[in-house]
Structure 1
């Protein structure tokens, strides 16, 4: 997953934009979304402004994605078969706020200037029709919308079919992160955030990012509102550093276990694996042995137990056979989000790490290790067979 930022030239000075992008580049951001048609002026003034802007943005290592529509094409002297003016501006990708809706979309996508063409994810029929008319799939990307007005954004279940459709076609999908910094802005004077889905409007950016990683169909995560601050950049980097791991960096035992798990599902071991880093609030009295199992390099459910729990056998199979001493717990029932370890009252399975999905009776066979932050519970519904996860202390 790549990371991006949004800037709004009609509201921000070039100096503000440059300072923002310099900070973002320190944290691995390399994609800029901006609005081209919202900048006033003559054709010459608009071309000059964006040529200077993109020169600066490219020097900082970013790709430039510009929002346009067919009306603006007429204003700027472009057409579906002539994008030379955007090439002159230094634009890498054109996000079509409005498509042609006919055979001209295929001509646009196959432009000789090599400019990428991006559509709203809701334009499935437009993209499918363009591909049927010979459009080069490799030159197409998609991006979800953002929703400044509270309660207007869709839920994840509504956008999931779109993600799945484009993922199967090999077409990248972008989605907007929502900065929680007070007073941020988008293209309009509304300060209630710019999320793609309503579930993300009021949760920390690191939770949003983990949720996107768990979706497995998002290729680019973009801050929609500006300006996110350094603390949020650091939170994003922390998640990405923890989530994405090179399989070459694993010790041989862990690598072999991962290879075996992938083989069970007919897949080769990838060069990188993604682990969702759940934030856990630890209970008092957790032993060092229990912590070693909890913070084992990665966990995964084989897919056969996703009912009452997300069950990781790996911490049992890979760990040493130390005693997991039963610890007293006053809870009669474990609740959603509780993290457990099987103790020696069930010796054969001792050492397994389990995340509770539905209330379970405390039968004395499991010790309570802690609780996953409630804001992250929505991620549980996306965990499937072979989805790796890990834990970080909240």
Structure 2
């Protein structure tokens, strides 16, 4: 385990690898807070912390926090791509909300309607890249969790929990 990581991130790391059936905590006593966090962890998917932008509209907030996401099977080197929201919200106008010049690793992106067919698709950036100006950065996965991005497999499910 990674001793520098909080206990819940260590457990989520093993969950994301898909090879662990049981987690045994030893060598120290977990705090009541750590045990409470562990109790609430989903055991079949990774739940990323996310820091959302303050001006996020309700539909985009719901896409990030309420939807069950999965990484597409045709994996991308640049993004984890969750496409169900573009199907569910087809026809909704997604305005460009926050389009920095550079999309950074760990940024959570929702594509604007300027991307046509991809409007409403949620993505997590795996690498820094130039933003075309059409992609809205709606949040960010904290750097301490970036290692989990590399462990998500094709079709693997994930969620987000908001942190401030």
Q: Choose the corresponding residue for 1:237, options 30, 39, 43.
A: 39
Residues 280 and 372 in structure 1, CA contact (< 8 A), matched pair in contact too: yes
Q: Secondary structure at the match of 1:354?
A: strand
The one of 210, 213, 216 equivalent to 2:18 is: 216
Match of 2:64 among 265, 269, 294: 294
CA contact (8 A) 1:294 1:315 kept: no
Task: Give the match for residue 378 of structure 1.
Answer: 147
Task: State whether structure 2 residue 112 is matched by structure 1 residue 343.
Answer: yes
What is the rounded CA distance, in whole Å, between the counterparts of 1:379 and 1:365 in structure 2? 27
Other-structure match for 2:81: 311
State the shift of 1:318 in Å: 2.4
Query: For residue 352 of structure 1, what is the aligned residue in structure 2?
Result: 121
Contact map agreement 1:309 1:355 (CA 8 A) in 2:
yes
Deviations 1:111-139 (A, max 9, x none): xxxxxxxxxxxxxxxxxxxxxxxxxxxxx
Take 2:137 and 2:8, find their aligned partners in 1: how far apart are those partners? Answer: 25
Q: Check whether the contact 1:279–1:392 (CA below 8 A) recurs between aligned residues.
A: yes
2-structure distance, mates of 1:306, 1:320 = 22
The alignment partner of 1:286 has SS state of: coil
| Cα deviation digits, residues 365-392 of structure 1 (max 9, x gap) | 2111111011111111111111000111
Tell me the equivalent position of 1:207.
9
Q: Which is higher, the Rg of structure 1 or of structure 2?
A: 1
Work out the CA distance in 2 between the residues paired with 1:275 and 1:227. 25
Deviation at 1:347, TM superposition (A): 2.2
C-alpha distance 235-328 of structure 1, shift in aligned 2 (>3 A): closer
2:65–2:162 Cα contact (<8 Å) kept: no
Deviation at 1:320, TM superposition (A): 5.1
In the alignment, structure 1 residue 390 sits paired with structure 2 residue 159: yes
Q: What secondary structure, in the 3-state scheme, does the structure 1 residue paired with 2:19 have?
A: coil
Q: Which residue of 2 aligns with 1:190?
A: none
3-state SS in 2 of match to 1:310: strand
- Bigger relative contact order, structure 1 or 2 (CA pairs below 8 A, ≥6 apart): 2
1:175 — aligned with what?
Answer: none
> In the TM superposition, what are the counterparts of 1:1-394 in structure 2 within 5 Å?
197=1, 200-239=2-41, 243-244=42-43, 274-319=44-89, 321-329=91-99, 331-394=100-163
Q: TM-score, normalised by structure 2?
A: 0.93
Contact 2:72/2:80 (<8 A) preserved: no
Distance 1:328 1:235 in 2: 31
What TM-score, normalized by structure 1, do the two folds share?
Answer: 0.40
Aligned length: 163
User: Which structure shows the bigger proportion of residues in helix conformation?
Assistant: 1
Specify every segment of 5 or more residues in structure 2 that has no aligned partner in the other structure, as ranges.
Answer: none
